[in-house]
Amino acid sequence: MTSLRQFAAMRIAKFLLSVVSLLLSESVPILGQDSSGEGIMLRGDRPEIAVTVKDPSGQTISTAASVRLSHEGMPVDQGATSHGRVFFILRDLGSYAVIVEAAGYKTAQKDVNLTVAMKSEVEISLQRESSSGGTAGGPSKPLLAPKARDALMKGLKAITANQLEEADKEIAEAMKLAPGHPDVLFGQGVLFLSRQDWPQAQSSLEKCTQIDSGNARALSALGMALANQGKYEAAIFPLEKSLQLEPSGWETRSTLANAYYRHEQYEEALKASQQALTDSAGKGPQIELLVAQSLTAVGRYEDSAEALREFLKNHGDRPEAAKARRWLDNMARDGKIRKD
């Protein structure tokens, strides 16, 4: 059976759209406010996160702390505390991670699930770093300066509009202003992915994940860049790690299933592709072909044929239907399945 290159290309396109839509979510941080300033904040019908950062004694932290928000593993906003408080007004409901970093303290994180458009109070207590070393997660990620962030956002918008020359210009400006920032490196990696420049994407995303090792989307993108160069063994680790951080990423799981298959880990490929198909909830019907491939690889020919027949029944008008019919014909010709 041939590779699913068309499916892989579609996965990358969908991945890019999901990445950029998350990065461009119109969250508006209200910085430098303590509780007395809350009355002037115009939330409307948007959800809000109010973060209070405390030191080990239980008092609000006296030094400025960096607070980042991520949504489904993607950074969406950042700010600095004033009097131990910082506020974010967001566009979307859902699950967010609040990550706090401050000099001399260990990085702390708390998850919050916003189900209604109201204020959610999040209190995070920091622990001091031991004198023998820093945090296990590596160095803290610095704040992204406003001009660099604006250039990055403009570059990502240009990618969504397929204006790659404009994207090049804006991402280059962001790199000039903040060359080592993981968000900018991630944006650069996304741009290279959109150009299908896999080696350059790999280089940018490796640098990003070395700094921000908990970025599930960057790890997923790195795995895609590696897989599209045929580096399937190397792709498996970042894809697996991405799924540890964000288990619901079906696009990542289907990429991992393909990497397992190409690396001849057929049992793992079967399990991952079946899970990806379930998690996609009908959004990735082409995964059925990867399931069929994996079933064939483990010798379950009739099950593979049934999967292909089901695909043809439900998606006979898709371009991949001809491939599914050919695979069925080949298995029947070779005597591996009964002839219809």
Same structural domain, 160 and 272: yes
Is position 328 within any domain?
Answer: no
Q: To the nearest whole percent, how much of the chain has pLDDT over 70?
A: 82
d(CA 88, CA 311): 45
75 vs 233, more confident? 233
Is the Cβ–Cβ distance between 255 and 8 less than 8 Å? yes
Based on the domain organization, do 168 and 264 belong to the same domain? Answer: yes
Return the pLDDT at 14. 53
Question: Within this chain, do residues 56 and 120 fall inside the same structural domain, yes or no?
Answer: yes
**Which residues make Cβ contacts (< 8 Å) with residue 200, sequence separation at least 6?**
192
Query: Domain count of the chain?
Result: 2
What is the distance of C-alpha 221 from the center of its chain? Answer: 7
- 55 in any annotated domain: yes
* Tokens 């350059």, residue located: 200
Asked if the structure places residue 40 within a domain, the reply is yes
In tens, the pLDDT along 81-115 reads 888 899 888 888 888 889 988 877 888 889 888 88
Judge whether 308 lies within some domain. Answer: no
Q: Kindly state whether residues 289 and 188 are assigned to the same domain.
A: yes
CA distance 318 to 236: 29
Residues 18 and 40 in one domain: no
Domain of 228?
5-22+146-298
| pTM of the full structure | 0.66
